[in-house]
Structure 1
Amino acid sequence: MKREKKRKEKCEKKRKKKDEKREQKRKEKREKKTYEKSEKKRIEKRREKKRKEKIEKKRQEKRREKRKEKNEKRKEEKREQRKEEKKEMKRKEKREKGKEEKREKKRQDKRKKKSKEKREKKRKEKGEKKRKEVKREKRKYEKR
C-alpha cells in the first residue's frame, strides 16, 4: 500500500510536470503568436507610413511643378505685355512725331506765306511810289 501510494504520488508528480510543461509550451506558443501578430502589425504600419509618405512626396512634387509652370507662364505673359506696351509706346511716339512735324510744316508754310505777302506788298508799294514819283515828275516837267 505504501508502495502504491508512492507510485501514485510519483505518477501524479510526473503528470503535474507534464501538465506544467504543456501549459508552458501553450503559453510560449500564445506569446509567440501575439508577438508575431504585433510584429506583423508594426511592419505593416511602417510599410503603410512609407507608402503614404511616397504618395505625399509625389503630390507635393506635382504641386511644386504646377506652381513653377504657373509662375513661368505669368512671367512670360508679363514679358509679352511689356513688349506690347513698348510697341504701343513707339507707335504713339511715331504718331505724335508725325503730328508735330505736320504742325511745324503748317507753321512754316504760314510764315512763308506771310513773308511772301509782305514782300509782295512792299514791292507793290515801291512800284506805287515810283509811279507816283514818275507822275509827279511828269507833271512837273509838263508845267515847265
Structure 2
Amino acid sequence: MKRKEEKREKKKEEKRAKKRREKRIETIREVKRKKRIEKRVKKRKQKCEKKRKDEKREKKRKEKRSEKRKEKRRENRKEKRREKKRKEKREKMRKVKRNRKRNEEKRREKGKEENEEKREMKGKEVKRKRRKEAK
C-alpha cells in the first residue's frame, strides 16, 4: 500500500515536474518570440527613421542646389546688365568723340574759309590801294 502511494506520489511529482518544465520552455519560447518581434519592430522603425532622414537630407540638398542656381541666374542677370551699361557707355563715348572730331573739323574748316575770305578781302583791298596809288 505504501509502495503504491509512493508510486502515485512519484507519478504526480513527475507530472508536476513535466508541467513545470513545459511551462518554463513555453515561457522561454514566448520570451524569444517577443524578442524577435521587438527586433523586427525596431528594425522597421530604424528603416523608417533612416528613410525620413535621407528624405530630409535630399530635400535640403535640392533646396541648396535650387538656391545656388537662382543665385547664379541672379548674378548672370546682374553681369549682363552691367555689360549692357558698359557697352552703352562705350557707344556713347564713341559718338561723343566722333561728334567732337566732326565739330572740330567743321570749326577748322570754317576758320580756314574765314581766313581765306579775310585774305581775299585783304588782297582785294591791297590791290585797290595799289590801284589808287598807281593812279
Q: TM-score range by the shorter chain?
A: 0.7 to 0.9
Task: Output the amino acid matched with 1:108.
Answer: R
Q: Indicate the residue corresponding to 1:21 in structure 2.
A: 15
Gaps of 5+ in 2: none
Q: Shift of the alpha carbon at 1:19?
A: 1.5
Q: How does 1:61-140 map to 2 (within 5 A)?
A: 61-140=55-134
Task: Output the amino acid matched with 1:30.
Answer: R
Q: Shift of the alpha carbon at 1:54?
A: 0.5
TM-score between both structures, scaled by the size of structure 2: 0.87
TM-score between both structures, scaled by the size of structure 1: 0.82
Q: Root-mean-square deviation (CA), in Å?
A: 1.8
Counterpart-to-counterpart distance in 2, 1:38 and 1:55: 25
Stretches of 4+ moved more than 4 A in 1?
none
| Higher Cα Rg, which structure | 1
Q: Indicate the residue corresponding to 1:54 in structure 2.
A: 48
Counterpart-to-counterpart distance in 2, 1:139 and 1:49: 132
Please state if 1:35 is matched with 2:38.
no
SS in 2 for 1:78: helix
Task: Output the amino acid matched with 1:15.
Answer: E
Q: Indicate the residue corresponding to 1:12 in structure 2.
A: 6
Q: Deviations over 1:80-133 (max 9, x none)?
A: 221122012212221222122112212211111011101111121122123222
Q: Shift of the alpha carbon at 1:48?
A: 1.8
Counterpart-to-counterpart distance in 2, 1:82 and 1:139: 83
Task: Output the amino acid matched with 1:126.
Answer: E
Aligned length: 135
Q: Deviations over 1:48-79 (max 9, x none)?
A: 22112202211220221122012112211210
Report the identity percentage: 36
Q: Shift of the alpha carbon at 1:41?
A: 1.6
Gaps of 5+ in 1: 1-6
